[in-house]
Amino acid sequence: MPRPVTVVYRVLPTPGDTARAAAQLFTDAAVKAATRGIARIAISGGTTPKTMFALLANPAEPFLKQVPWDKIELYWVDERCVPPDNAESNYRMTNEALLSKVPLPAERVHRMEGELDPEVAAARYESTIRNTFRLEGAETPTFDLVLLGMGDDGHTASLFPHTEALNEMSHIVVPNHVPQKDTWRITLTWPVINQGREVAFLIEGAGKAQVVRDVFLGPYQPDTHPSQLIRPASGRLALLLDAAAAAKLPKSADSDSTGTLELR
Ligand code: 6PG
């Protein structure tokens, strides 16, 4: 049975407003975690996070000064199996929009090596996480913040519908063959994502409205909608959406357009 979770969703008028709310969420989570010594943050790729990254790196915005960059360890939730200079690379996108512009020490940036054989890359990333989190035995990592996106097919990270990685319960990182894209991906597993202290979806665009409704209001079919596997152990899941992506969610009475959904 899936774990019950409270989804706290916030609907922002535009993609720009959504990116700003996400930059604030990133900043707040980093500041809070840094009081414990280090902020370990796992980010997504795709296109949606780009504007948030640009806001975080923009000296004219408040975030660049507020984020404790020297206390951050940065990880990815997934990567495409391409070299880091490839246009498809999540690392490249993040480097261009954020890393090349902020004072985050390179040794604290842990990219997935998409250029390697997927099995090898996944195993190496699992040991990178084990070493940097100083895990022992069967211990698994607790990220301070996991930022997720959602594909219009209901996938998140590289957990695609009807793929092997959906059944993975013991590894931290796995290679995942995605026949529907005729490609391989490297991805964190969903039990590890669910262990995150804060887990948040950032979703934009009318093209996502139906899948958002299916994932959060539809029947529980995680093989078809893998984003339904995201049920954090904390019992809370944050959702930042623009109005277009939230078009098929219950209208919130609240003026600041926040609402909650109880997933049972
Ligand atoms: C990736 C991502 C993936 C992404 C969704 C949404 O590597 O593609 O990590 O899970 O979050 O595909 O992508 P968009 O933001 O481009 O819609």
pLDDT single digits (tens) 171-227: 999 999 999 999 999 999 999 999 999 999 999 999 999 999 999 999 999 999 999
pLDDT level of residue 118 (50, 70, 90 thresholds):
very high
Looking at the predicted structure, is the pLDDT value of residue 57 above 60?
yes
- For residue 166, pLDDT over 60 is answered with yes
| pLDDT (tens digit per residue) in 60-116 | 999 999 999 999 999 999 999 999 999 999 999 999 999 999 999 999 999 999 999
pLDDT band (50, 70, 90) for residue 263: confident
DSSP conformation class of 40: E
Write the residue with the smallest CA distance to atom 11 of ligand 1.
Answer: 149
| pTM: predicted TM-score of the whole model, two decimal places | 0.97
Handedness of CA 137, 141, 142, 144 (dihedral sign): positive
Cα of 35 vs centre of ligand 1, distance in Å, is 30
List the structure tokens of 10. 């916030």
- Confirm or reject: Cβ of 157 under 6 Å from ligand 1: yes
| Angle, helices 90-97/49-57, rounded to nearest 10 degrees | 30
Mutate to test the pocket of ligand 1, among 18, 43, 44, 230 (most ligand atoms within 8 A of CB): 44
- Ligand 1 center to 50 CA (angstroms): 11
What CA–CA distances, in Å, run from 62 to 20, 27, 67, 77? Answer: 11, 10, 9, 26
Provide the pLDDT for residue 255.
53
| Strand stretches in the chain, DSSP E | 5-12, 39-43, 72-76, 78-80, 145-148, 173-178, 183-188, 198-203, 236-242, 258-263
Report d(CA 119, CA 226) in Å as an integer.
Answer: 22
Phi, psi of 86 (to 5 degrees): -80, 145
| Contact criterion met (CB below 8 Å) for 45 and 94 | yes
Residue 167 CB–ligand 1 contact under 6 Å: no
In the reported structure, the alpha carbon of residue 157 is separated from the centroid of ligand 1 by a whole-number distance in angstroms of: 7
CB of 78 within 6 A of ligand 1: the answer is: yes
CA of 258 to the centre of ligand 1 (A): 24
